[in-house]
Structure 1
Amino acid sequence: MKFQPRVKGIMLVIIGSMLWGVSGTVAQYLFQKKGFSPEWLVVIRLLVSGITLLLYAFAKGNQDIWKVWKFKHSRLNLIFFSVIGMLGVQYTYFAAIKYGNAATATILQYLSPVIITCYLAIRTKKVPSLQEIVAIGLAMVGTFFIITKGNIHSISISKLALFWGISSAFAAAYYTLQPRTLLAKWGSTLVVGWGMLIGGLAFSFIHQPWNFTGEWSINSIFAVIFVVLFGTLIAFHCYLESLKYIQPTETSILSSVEPLSAAFLSVLWLHVPLGMLQWLGTVCIIVTVIILSFAKNKTKDNLYL
Structure 2
Amino acid sequence: MMQTVQKRRTAGFLLVISGASLWGIGGTVSQYIFEIHHLPVEWLVAVRLLLSGLLLLTISLMLGNKEKVTGIWKQKKSAGAVVIFGLFGMLAVQYTYMASIESGNAAVATLLQYLAPVFILAYLLAVRHTYWNMRDAGAVLMGLAGTFLLLTNGELAGLSVPTEAVVWGLLSGVALAFYTLYAGPLLAAWGSMNVIGWAMTVGGAAVSFLHAPWNAAWGSWTWSMAGSVIFVVIFGTMIAFWFYLESLKYLKPQETSILGCLEPLAAILASVWWLHVPFGLYQSVGTCLILGMVIYLSLPQKQRAKPAPA
What TM-score do the two structures reach when normalised by structure 2?
Answer: 0.92
**Aligned-partner Cα distance in 2 for 1:48–1:152:** 43
**Aligned-partner Cα distance in 1 for 2:9–2:200:** 30
**Aligned-partner Cα distance in 1 for 2:217–2:281:** 36
Query: How far is the alpha carbon of 1:210 from its aligned partner?
Result: 2.1
Query: How far is the alpha carbon of 1:225 from its aligned partner?
Result: 0.8
Instruction: Tell me which residue corresponds to 1:302.
Output: none
Map 1:75-90 → 2, pairs under 5 A: 75-90=79-94
Query: How far is the alpha carbon of 1:18 from its aligned partner?
Result: 0.3
Is the 2:43–2:208 contact (alpha carbons within 8 Å) kept by the matching residues of 1? Answer: no
- Please list every run of at least 4 consecutive aligned residues from structure 1 whose deviation after the TM superposition is greater than 3 angstroms: 295-298
The reply on whether 1:206 has 2:210 as its aligned counterpart is: yes
Instruction: Tell me which residue corresponds to 2:307.
Output: none
Query: How far is the alpha carbon of 1:151 from its aligned partner?
Result: 1.9
Is the 2:142–2:293 contact (alpha carbons within 8 Å) kept by the matching residues of 1? Answer: yes
- 1:288–1:213 CA distance, 2 compared to 1 (3 A): farther
- 1:31–1:181 CA distance, 2 compared to 1 (3 A): same
Is the 1:37–1:213 contact (alpha carbons within 8 Å) kept by the matching residues of 2? Answer: no
**Aligned-partner Cα distance in 1 for 2:33–2:276:** 15
> CA-to-partner distance for each residue in 1:85-128, whole Å, 9 max, x for gaps?
11100000000000000000000000001111111122125422
Is the 1:266–1:272 contact (alpha carbons within 8 Å) kept by the matching residues of 2? Answer: yes
Is the 1:182–1:191 contact (alpha carbons within 8 Å) kept by the matching residues of 2? Answer: yes
Other structure's SS at 1:209 match? coil
**Aligned-partner Cα distance in 2 for 1:219–1:206:** 25
**Aligned-partner Cα distance in 2 for 1:126–1:81:** 24
Q: More deviation in 16-25 or 44-53?
A: 44-53
> CA-to-partner distance for each residue in 1:196-255, whole Å, 9 max, x for gaps?
111111111121112225852111111111101111111111111211111111111111
> Which structure 2 segments of 5+ residues have no match?
304-310
Which of the two has higher C-alpha Rg?
2
**Aligned-partner Cα distance in 1 for 2:149–2:174:** 20
Indicate which of 227, 232, 240 corresponds to 1:235. Answer: 240
Instruction: Tell me which residue corresponds to 1:272.
Output: 277
The reply on whether 1:186 has 2:186 as its aligned counterpart is: no
Instruction: Tell me which residue corresponds to 1:252.
Output: 257
Q: Kindly provide the amino acid, as one letter, of the partner of residue 18 in structure 1.
A: S
**Aligned-partner Cα distance in 1 for 2:256–2:132:** 23
The reply on whether 1:177 has 2:176 as its aligned counterpart is: no
Q: CA RMSD in A?
A: 1.7
Is the 1:112–1:173 contact (alpha carbons within 8 Å) kept by the matching residues of 2? Answer: yes
Instruction: Tell me which residue corresponds to 1:303.
Output: none
**Aligned-partner Cα distance in 1 for 2:43–2:141:** 37
Query: How far is the alpha carbon of 1:148 from its aligned partner?
Result: 1.0
Is the 1:132–1:291 contact (alpha carbons within 8 Å) kept by the matching residues of 2? Answer: no
Instruction: Tell me which residue corresponds to 1:286.
Output: 291
**Aligned-partner Cα distance in 2 for 1:30–1:105:** 15
**Aligned-partner Cα distance in 1 for 2:242–2:214:** 28
What TM-score do the two structures reach when normalised by structure 1?
Answer: 0.93
Indicate which of 215, 225, 228 corresponds to 2:230. Answer: 225
Q: Kindly provide the amino acid, as one letter, of the partner of residue 102 in structure 2.
A: K
> Which structure 1 segments of 5+ residues have no match?
299-305
Other structure's SS at 2:72 match? helix
The reply on whether 1:263 has 2:286 as its aligned counterpart is: no
Q: More deviation in 167-176 or 65-74?
A: 65-74
